[in-house]
Structure 1
Amino acid sequence: MWNSNQRKPASTGDHSHANDTSLIASGTRIKGDVHFSGALHLDGVIEGSVSADTDSNAVFTLSEQGRVTGEIHVPHAVINGIVKGNIHAGERLELAAQACVEGDVHYRVLEMAAGAQINGRMVHQKESPRQITHQAEEASGVFDDDVVMDSGKA
């Protein structure tokens, strides 16, 4: 059927959005909220919030020509344009040299180039409480499923 030198055709039943990329070109202005999966590259303007599922690998890229006036809630973001609003990057935030953020920046991992500007608070987000609790349970050897009973009798 298929040897190692031949590529298999893409499955028509695969509904994964991990490799999908959407482009909003320069000269395009969107008034309203945008929710996406996969990747979103913005060269234009969004007046509203930008969001993706926090448990996905979605990536939002804002070019040097792009602008967002509103909140950004994404797992991964690469910012090189203007943001007037708070940024919540659940996993990784990269601020390139032309980035200008007027708002608070919430991140787990931050990479910031010389020249990037933030006019607001920078807030480091630790791992989610559930993950920290689970790690603490593993370290102590006690799990939610463990039941410890003390009858009070010696």
Structure 2
Amino acid sequence: MARDEINAFLGAGTNYQGKLHFQGAVRIDGNFQGEVVSDGTLVVGQEAVVEGQIKVGQLVLSGNIQGEVEAKSKVVLHKTANLQGNIRTPVLVVEEGAVLEGQLLMGSLETASKESSKTDSD
């Protein structure tokens, strides 16, 4: 992804709390705590710390996330990524060195939702 495609940039050394809704692509290099909802792309920079629930079209992670991640199309974990929490996505790309502590549920989100509700009702 080219830098000029990013619609918003939450810079290093800054702290944000709350809900983030956006279209297109957003890059976080600071600290964010709360909920992120979008059909677009969330890029989490190497120095970033994100805590909370993330529901996006695509996640590109180089920094730290603590929480639940749901991506409609893809999650990319670069070598500096550290994710503590569960991931639901149809496609996962992991570079050597990335850390994932949690559960991974792959397949389309619709299929995953049906499977989890089937398991819950058994």
Q: Shorter-chain TM-score: which interval? A: 0.7 to 0.9
> 1:78 is matched with which residue: 60, 63, 75?
60
Higher normalized strand content (fraction of residues): 2
Following TM superposition, where does structure 1 have runs of at least 4 consecutive aligned residues deviating by more than 3 angstroms?
A: none
Q: What is the distance in 2 between the residues matched to 1:104 and 1:44?
A: 22
Alignment of 1:57-96 (within 5 A): 58-96=40-78
- Judge conservation of contact 1:23–1:42 (CA < 8 Å) in 2: yes
- CA–CA distance in 2 between the matches of 1:83 and 1:114? 17
**CA–CA distance in structure 1, aligned partners of residues 66 and 91 of structure 2:** 21
Distance in 1 (alpha carbons) for counterparts of 2:52 and 2:105: 18
Cα deviation 1:85-136 (Å, max 9, x = unaligned)? 011011011000011111001111111000111110011032636xxxxxxx
Structure number with higher relative contact order (C-alpha < 8 Å, ≥ 6 residues apart): 2
Letter of the structure 2 residue corresponding to residue 68 of structure 1: V
The code of the aligned residue for 1:59 comes to T
Give the share of equivalent positions with the same residue, in percent: 26
**C-alpha separation in 2, matches of 1:97 and 1:108:** 20
RMSD: 1.4
The whole-number CA distance in structure 2 between the counterparts of 1:127 and 1:66 is 27
Q: Does 1:97 align with 2:83?
A: no
* Structure 2 runs not aligned, ≥5 long: 112-122
Matches within 5 A, 1:5-154: 21-53=7-39, 58-126=40-108, 128=110
Quick one: structure 1 residues 121 and 25, their matched pair in 2 at CA, closer, same or farther if it must change by over 3 Å?
same
Structure number with bigger Rg: 1
What is the aligned partner in structure 2 of residue 14 from structure 1?
Answer: none
SS at match of 1:49: strand
The count of corresponding residues between Structure 1 and Structure 2 is 107
Report what 2:120 is aligned to: none
TM value normalised by structure 2? 0.82
Q: Which runs of 5+ in 1 are unaligned?
A: 1-18, 130-154
